[in-house]
């Protein structure tokens, strides 16, 4: 009796399973919300369901899909019973026509290389046989002169033919191999992998009646993201505003092309949980500037020390599809806790090639005050700096920027928001029409010995000239050293209307210059310390030089 009941249960389960309506859902990616390090995908379709249980299968999805993020929206008359993501190793992803042509070309070249190798082996074998069978006659038998001549002619003619063919085949094989390498490089550029498994999602639903309904599938996938890049545009004729073009480098390495989708860029963190967050104590402190030790020389030697350098680091990551280790360059950016989104007004297509696609976010006019800055101690040139306000309304994230002044490309800078408040400074390049010279007046010979102390006096004079046809506002910056010992005394003597920051030693002069006007500024200080102490008073920078054995 028990066996009969078990058999009936199995028969019921079997018939119930095969009575389910199986539907392969041909959905299309319609919306993509790209987060900083992943993306939220939305796929839509229309399905026809029968009364009872139905199995909906969404094929050819990315293997980088995060199973816990799957959400399905369907008609209220339909109950969702189960969602099962499954890897599909039998169905390969579709490839683009360009990749297909390149892969077909690789197969043809492989055949040509193999055929060439076969012919080369045949000729090499024949040549080896000829070289091993060059003896004519025996030890006790002579060789007829005519026979010797005929044999020699044969060997010479045949070896010339063989060597000629070997040379031609070797040259052809080299050409085939070079083409093969170029195609492989192009395929790598297009992110074409030899084999890419796919992910499928199986959803079991139950419908109260037969009906046709829309269905929406949402999930988060890794292998995608975006980072900011800016253009800063300024004009000499408009010294009240700059134009800030906000763009995004969007990358898609999900193995799924985004074709004509609605795109949103977001700073939201998808790893947030549904738990109520706990508020922790908010500490306020001064944050040190970030210095990149990989850059050569001093950061201040670059265009202008008005922005911080990014700390760019290489990180080794494992490709989730191939398992290969790949290197990526990354930097740490300050992102506001309050997330925001940028809706791109036009539909866009981004193929899965792991190369950044530039997407324009906004173009904003910002109020700016233009000044000339000079730190002649580090660089003899004068720099144009725009001091910008209202930047908080643009929702900036730390990132690189291209600088344009009067329509000319000046160079690159880095926008950092972590160490600025109401005003952010953008360097706009060098100003050749403002000249600043820094003269040493005492030529380092003003040294006095007072008892057991040594006193060294430094005297400088700055001469600033405005060769523009309009007035300018200039900021001149220098410094005096800061003592780190109570036995070393440092004191300013003259700073000519400059402002001294006692904690940093920075001295700043600000003044206006009329067209053609020349202004002189005197600057002096002394350092006093015990004669027994070794106090270096010359600042050096350190660079790598090539060493030659003598």
8 Å CB contact between 434 and 372: yes
* pLDDT score of 289 more than 50: no
* pLDDT at residue 445, rounded to an integer: 52
Q: What does each C-alpha distance from 327 to 20, 314, 319, 456 come to in angstroms?
A: 47, 6, 10, 52
* pLDDT at residue 106, rounded to an integer: 83
* pLDDT at residue 318, rounded to an integer: 53
* pLDDT at residue 138, rounded to an integer: 53
Average pLDDT over residues 175-202: 78
CA dist., res. 527 & res. 481, Å (int): 8
Render 271-327 in DSSP notation, one character per residue: T--SSPPPPPP------PPP--TTSSS-GGGSS-TTSPPP-EEEEEEE-TTT--EEE
Ranges of H-type helices in 133-236: 145-189
Q: How confident is the model at residue 128 (pLDDT cuts 50, 70, 90)?
A: confident
Q: What is the mean pLDDT of the chain?
A: 80
Position with higher pLDDT, 421 vs 185: 185
CA dist., res. 36 & res. 60, Å (int): 24
At 136-179, the pLDDT tens digits run 555 555 556 777 677 777 778 888 888 888 888 899 889 989 88
Cross-strand partners of 73: 216
Measured over the CA atoms of residue 183, residue 188, residue 190 and residue 196, the dihedral's sign is positive
CA dist., res. 261 & res. 255, Å (int): 16
CA dist., res. 354 & res. 181, Å (int): 20
Most confident of 42-46, 62-66, 138-142, 292-296: 42-46
Pairing assessment for the beta strands 357-374 and 506-513 based on DSSP bridges: unpaired
CA neighbours within 13 Å on the CB side: how many for 463?
7
* pLDDT at residue 14, rounded to an integer: 44
Q: Give 499's contacts (C-beta < 8 A, 6+ positions apart).
A: 507, 508, 509
Average pLDDT over residues 119-146: 71
Measured over the CA atoms of residue 545, residue 546, residue 547 and residue 550, the dihedral's sign is negative
Cα 302 off chain centre by: 21
CA dist., res. 543 & res. 536, Å (int): 19
CA dist., res. 235 & res. 251, Å (int): 32
At 95-113, the pLDDT tens digits run 666 777 888 888 888 888 9
SS3 501: coil
Q: How confident is the model at residue 4 (pLDDT cuts 50, 70, 90)?
A: low
Q: Mean pLDDT check: name the lowest of 331-335, 503-507, 543-547.
A: 331-335
Number of residues that this document lists for the chain: 550
Q: How confident is the model at residue 253 (pLDDT cuts 50, 70, 90)?
A: confident
Cross-strand partners of 366: 242
8 Å CB contact between 188 and 118: no
Pairing assessment for the beta strands 28-34 and 224-235 based on DSSP bridges: unpaired
CA angle (454, 455, 458) in 5-degree steps: 145
8 Å CB contact between 446 and 455: no
Position with higher pLDDT, 158 vs 402: 402
**Helix 145-189 vs helix 97-132: angle between axes, to the nearest 10 degrees?**
160
Residue 48: which of 207, 171, 186 has the closest Cα? 207
Position with higher pLDDT, 5 vs 548: 548
8 Å CB contact between 200 and 61: yes
Residue owning tokens 């007829």: 144
Q: Mean pLDDT check: name the lowest of 198-207, 327-336, 441-450.
A: 441-450
CA dist., res. 512 & res. 517, Å (int): 9
Q: Give 33's contacts (C-beta < 8 A, 6+ positions apart).
A: 39, 40, 42, 264, 265, 266, 341
8 Å CB contact between 454 and 528: yes
Q: Which two tokens stand for residue 45?
A: 């379709």
- Tell me the longest C-alpha to C-alpha distance in the chain: 117
Q: Does the model's pTM come out above 0.75?
A: no
């Amino acid at each position: 009796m028990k066996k009969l009941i078990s058999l009936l249960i199995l028969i019921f389960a079997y018939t119930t399973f095969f009575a389910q309506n199986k539907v392969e859902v041909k959905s299309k990616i319609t919306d993509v919300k790209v987060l900083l390090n992943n993306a939220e995908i939305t796929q839509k379709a229309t399905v026809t369901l029968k009364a009872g249980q139905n199995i909906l299968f969404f094929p050819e999805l990315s293997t980088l899909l995060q199973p816990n993020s799957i959400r399905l929206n369907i008609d209220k008359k339909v109950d969702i019973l189960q969602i099962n993501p499954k890897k599909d190793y039998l169905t390969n992803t579709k490839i683009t026509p360009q990749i297909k042509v390149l892969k077909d070309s690789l197969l043809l070249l492989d055949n040509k290389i193999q055929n060439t190798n076969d012919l080369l082996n045949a000729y090499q074998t024949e040549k080896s046989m000829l070289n091993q069978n060059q003896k004519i006659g025996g030890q006790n038998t002579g060789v007829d002169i005519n026979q010797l001549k005929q044999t020699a002619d044969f060997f010479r003619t045949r070896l010339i033919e063989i060597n000629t063919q070997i040379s031609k085949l070797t040259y052809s094989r080299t050409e085939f191999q070079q083409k093969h390498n170029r195609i492989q490089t192009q395929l790598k550029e297009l992110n074409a992998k030899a084999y890419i498994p796919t992910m499928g999602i199986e959803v079991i639903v139950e419908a109260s009646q037969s009906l046709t309904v829309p269905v929406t599938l949402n999930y988060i996938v890794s292998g995608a993201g975006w980072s900011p890049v800016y253009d800063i545009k300024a004009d000499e004729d408009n010294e009240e505003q700059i134009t800030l073009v906000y763009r995004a480098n969007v990358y898609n390495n999900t193995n799924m092309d985004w074709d004509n989708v609605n795109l949103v860029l977001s700073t939201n963190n998808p790893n947030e949980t549904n738990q109520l967050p706990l508020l922790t104590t908010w500490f306020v402190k001064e944050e040190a500037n970030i210095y990149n030790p990989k850059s050569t020389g001093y950061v201040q030697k670059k265009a202008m020390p008005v922005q911080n350098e990014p700390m760019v680091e290489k990180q080794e990551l494992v490709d989730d599809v191939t398992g290969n280790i790949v290197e990526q360059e990354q930097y740490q950016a300050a992102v506001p806790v309050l997330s925001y989104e940028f809706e791109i007004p036009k539909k866009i297509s981004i193929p899965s090639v792991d190369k950044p696609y530039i997407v324009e976010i906004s173009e904003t006019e910002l109020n700016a005050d233009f000044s000339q800055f000079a730190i002649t101690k580090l660089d003899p040139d004068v720099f144009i700096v725009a001091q910008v306000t209202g930047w908080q309304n643009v929702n900036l994230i730390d990132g690189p920027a291209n600088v344009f002044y009067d329509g000319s490309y000046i160079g690159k800078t880095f926008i950092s928001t972590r160490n600025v408040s109401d005003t952010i400074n953008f360097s706009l390049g060098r100003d050749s029409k403002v000249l600043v010279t820094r003269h040493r007046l005492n030529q380092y010979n003003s040294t006095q010995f007072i008892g057991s102390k040594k006193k060294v006096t430094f005297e400088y004079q700055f001469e600033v000239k405005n060769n523009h046809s309009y007035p300018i506002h200039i900021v001149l910056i220098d410094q005096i050293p800061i003592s780190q010992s109570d036995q070393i005394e440092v004191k300013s003597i003259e700073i000519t209307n400059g402002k001294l920051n006692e904690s940093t030693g920075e001295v700043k002069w600000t003044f206006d210059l009329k067209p053609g006007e020349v202004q002189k500024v005197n600057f002096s200080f002394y350092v006093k310390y015990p004669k027994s102490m070794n106090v270096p008073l010359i600042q050096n920078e350190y660079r790598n030089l090539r060493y030659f054995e003598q």
